Structure 1
Amino acid sequence: MRAILAIDQGTTNSKAVLVSEKGEVLARGAAPVGISYPKPGWVEQDPSRLYASVCEAIDACLNSAADVTVEAIAISNQRESVTAWDAETGESLGPVLSWQCRRTAPDCERLIAEGRLERVQALTGLPLDPMFPGSKFRWLLDRAPKGRPIRLGTIDSWLIHCLTGGRLHACDASNAARSQLFDLQAQTWSADLGEIFGVDISLLPKVMDSSADFGTTLGLPGIPDGTPIRAAIGDSHAALFGHGAFKPGDGKVTFGTGSSVMTTLPSFIAPRNGITTTVAWRIGGKPTFAFEGNILVSAASLPWMAGILGLPDVASLVDLAATAEANGPGFVPAFVGLGAPYWNSDARALFSQINFSTTRAQMARSVTDSIAFQVHDVIRAMRAQSGGELGALYVDGGPSQNRFLMQCVSNLIEHAVIQCEAPEASALGAAYLAGLSLGLWRDLEVIAALPRSTQTIAPEAADRATLLNTWNDALSRSTLALTPAKGE
């Protein structure tokens, strides 16, 4: 059977998925990546371990597959994480600086103080926040060994380097669009942005379409040399594509460590209201744009709270939360500040309105509800700017399989959500792009028509005003400036 091998390289795990010509998942494999926190607010990964986890996931996937011929490889990857390596030897010259890493917050604050924010947003559609890579690239350059031929790159470009035996330094337009060095409208690296962040843009990868020829494999265990790599795309963008959300207004929410809310646009719209504009994908040289809201901490708060309450796992936490009425305390998961639509690096995680009658179930409910509240605020900001109707809204990622959590989201946004049984939306999107390049699928209409197992969750009546009042009160307390006590 002919199939596409899709690599889905994420924050905590690397996955490999074999996808048939019918769009069916034939086999899966996964391996942990590992993540470290060397200082408060610092989050990084080992580039070599990251690639090794990809190889392990591929091996596990192939070992669980029947007789399959791999026609091509596709890549979806964690975005806004970047690294540096030696252009000649491939040796890592620094860690992977994770999208969660806040180490360059002072650099972003300095650039804002210098009046650079408006220009950066106008060119990139992104705010000046340490989540985005511009300042991270500079940090890597400052600490790289002098005199070495340096390559800088997003995770897709690092994987392409490894998969091709170092023969190609390239990334796709969706990943470039999240780098903070890419001019969205010109669709090129920007010398102006390079000057702002202090980065030589000649060190960056070649920007290609999301569905394109990214070279061929060399030395990848289990895969014949010369196997073509035909797609690369950021994981959130890949999920949007995988759902077939091709009409303007269609969107998706990916739930994971953080969350990404994305809706397709008819054309480029400059961002405001705390959301970003990005390249969803680029095919045939033509970019499709999207609004996006990046939530820094989403489902990552669930295992934390499960541990605090002495529960064995996240499922037990959600079951406990479901027994409580949604009228308890408020909780803001600002463990690393707040992302969209607030963009407040100084915000702090907290519970509010706790009293002696507060129960464990109410505490659990306030944590699960915080996931839905953040999605609500992003979608509200998108609706305010787009002027159009919200179309089909898909949900994916592990937490999206929980009916209770998704019902809370649907109730708050007053819009149906479409629950997808297949958890591999990002891998499927990358595979569809590779198949498009190979001619396995003729066009987007054919891809949209591929069978998908879905369930629609319609909104139910809820006291939204009371719930939002509690949330907004907690939010205001979370973002208060900390004033030193007298005499300090």
Structure 2
Amino acid sequence: MKKASLVIDQSTTSSKVFLIDEDGKILDRASLSHQKYYPQKGWAEHDAMELYQNMLDGCKRLVERHPECEFERVSITNQRETIVAWDDCTKEPVYRAIVWQCGRTYKRCQELIKEGYEPMIQKITGLKIDPYFSATKMEWILQNVDTDLDSLKFGTIDSWLIYKLTNGNAHATDHTNASRTLLYALDENDWNEELLQLFSIPASSLPKILPSDAIFGYTDLEGALHEPIPIQGIMGDSQAAFLAQLCQEEGDIKMTLGTGSSIMM
């Protein structure tokens, strides 16, 4: 029986799923587009449940088309910085996913810069203050959406998909996605308590941070598989493309041209 992995690329415009064998050959693929919402000028949102359902449907299509395959794992690469907030009791989003493109927190970011927080934040995270990153999106949800803090969970798209695939048993992310939230300390490889306090984000709402090659949980794709397989191999899309182009030495540079242009060194 041929062994293969289901590799998910959940991007800004669609959810693509690839069936890849042990030699790295793409055996098949499925792609489903999703609705984009722009409720106000400069705002951008996705329906987090639609993202999950499209990803799940894509996986199920490949499983059905390839009964000869032994599925070894599910791997995920994803649009970065986009944030989902959900209730751990209902397992449903409390608001639409706020996309990395969304500029609703521009004024808040300008306030933080004027108050002198940027040097401290850049020293801790390596990032400048910008609505692009996830922290002010989380802060906005806390201030504008009626939520139960005891059951509130936040996550980037990888965390949301992992949570749903494991039926709520795993709330986790990897270091590449965590490092794009404006809450991750490079020296600590963990969430920074000072930044959590600055943005009033409860530590209990954030996912556990694991290495990209860790096992994040197990899924049977809601019954599509006979038995659960590991979710393993999680990485933000630009970092994944960076490594795929063999950028492994100091000074290596990679430009990713997608919905946006991402340059990494």
TM-score by length of 2: 0.95
CA distance in 2, matches of 1:87, 1:64: 34
Q: Which has the higher contact order (CA 8 A, sep 6+)?
A: 2
Matching residue's letter, 1:229: I
Runs of at least 5 residues in structure 2 that lack an aligned partner in the other structure = none
Q: Distance in 1 between the 2:138 and 2:186 partners?
A: 19
Residues 430-465 of structure 1: CA deviation (Å, up to 9, x unaligned): xxxxxxxxxxxxxxxxxxxxxxxxxxxxxxxxxxxx
Q: 1:219 to 1:65 in 2, by over 3 A?
A: closer
Q: How does 1:161-180 map to 2 (within 5 A)?
A: 161-180=163-182
| Residue aligning to 1:189 | 191
1:69, distance to aligned residue in structure 2 (A):
1.1
- Equivalent-residue separation in structure 2 for 1:147 and 1:6 (angstroms): 34
The alpha-carbon distance between structure 1 residues 140 and 45, as it changes in their structure 2 partners (threshold 3 A), is same
Structure 1, residues 287-336: CA drift from partner, whole Å, max 9, x if none? xxxxxxxxxxxxxxxxxxxxxxxxxxxxxxxxxxxxxxxxxxxxxxxxxx
- Residue 252 of structure 1 aligns with an amino acid whose one-letter code is K
Aligned residue in 2 for 1:326: none
Alignment partner for residue 156 of structure 1, among 158, 164, 167? 158
CA distance in 1, matches of 2:120, 2:197: 12
Q: After TM superposition, list the pairs within 5 Å mapping 1:53-202 onto structure 2.
A: 53-65=54-66, 67-147=68-148, 149-202=151-204
Contact 2:253 2:263 in 1 (8 A): yes
Counterpart amino acid of residue 185 in structure 2: D
Distance 1:127 1:215 in 2: 33
Pairwise CA distance, 1:218: 4.5
Please say if residues 172 and 207 of structure 2, whose CA atoms lie closer than 8 Å, have aligned partners that are also in contact. yes
SS at 1:215's partner residue? strand
Match of 1:33, as an amino acid? H
Which range moved further: 246-255 or 164-173? 246-255
Letter paired with 1:250: D
For residues 41-72 of structure 1, the C-alpha deviation after alignment (integer angstroms, 9 at most, x for no partner) is: 00000110110110122133334446211101
Q: Distance in 1 between matches of 2:67 and 2:91?
A: 34
* Aligned-partner SS, 2:107: helix
1:193 aligned counterpart, secondary structure: helix
1:246-271 CA deviation, whole Å, 9 max, x = no partner?
232333221111111122xxxxxxxx
Aligned to 1:7: 8
Answer yes or no: is the 8 Å Cα contact 2:163–2:170 preserved in 1. Answer: yes
Deviation per CA, 1:327-351: give whole Å up to 9, x if none. Answer: xxxxxxxxxxxxxxxxxxxxxxxxx
Q: CA deviation at 1:196?
A: 1.8
Residue 242 of structure 2 aligns to a residue whose secondary structure is: helix
What's the counterpart of residue 359 of structure 1? Answer: none
Which has a greater percent of helix? 1
| Cα drift, residue 23 of structure 1 | 1.0
Contact 1:26 1:65 in 2 (8 A): no
Name the SS for the 2:101 alignment partner: coil
Q: Which has the higher strand share?
A: 2
Match of 1:261 among 241, 260, 263: 263
**Correspondences of 1:296-311 after superposition (within 5 Å):** none
Question: Could you say which residue in structure 2 is the equivalent of 1:267?
Answer: none
Structure 1 residue 222 displacement after superposition: 2.4
- Return 5+ residue gaps in structure 1 as ranges: 264-488
- Residue 233 in 1 paired to residue 219 in 2? no
How far apart, CA to CA, are the structure 1 residues paired with 2:159 and 2:94?
15
In the TM superposition, 1:416-455 aligns within 5 A as none
Cα deviation digits, residues 176-201 of structure 1 (max 9, x gap): 00011000111010011112222122
The one-letter amino acid of 1:259's match is S
| Within-5 A mapping of 1:372-411 | none
Output aligned runs, 1:466-481, within 5 Å.
none
Tell me by how many angstroms 1:230 deviates.
1.1
Q: What do residues 217-260 of structure 1 show as CA deviations (whole Å, max 9, x unaligned)?
A: 15535233421111111011111222232232333221111111
2:215–2:232: 8 Å Cα contact kept in structure 1? Answer: yes
User: What SS does the corresponding residue of 1:7 show, helix, strand or coil?
Assistant: strand
Task: Provide the C-alpha distance between the structure 2 equivalents of 1:76 and 1:226, rounded to a whole number of angstroms.
Answer: 20
Mapping for residues 277-426 of structure 1, pairs under 5 Å: none
Q: AA paired with 2:50?
A: R
Alpha-carbon distance in structure 2 between the residues aligned to 1:238 and 1:65: 26
Residue 208 of structure 2 corresponds to which residue in structure 1?
206
How far apart, CA to CA, are the structure 1 residues paired with 2:145 and 2:222? 27
Give the aligned residue type for 1:178: R
Q: Is the 8 A contact 2:87 2:94 kept in 1?
A: yes
SS in 1 for 2:95: coil
SS of corresponding position for 1:228: strand
Q: Distance in 2 between matches of 1:20 and 1:219?
A: 19
- Alignment-mate amino acid for residue 55 of structure 1: L
Change (3 A) 1:228 1:38: same
The match for 2:222 is 220
The whole-number CA distance in structure 1 between the counterparts of 2:46 and 2:10 is 13
CA offsets per residue over residues 400-455 of structure 1, 9 Å max, x none? xxxxxxxxxxxxxxxxxxxxxxxxxxxxxxxxxxxxxxxxxxxxxxxxxxxxxxxx
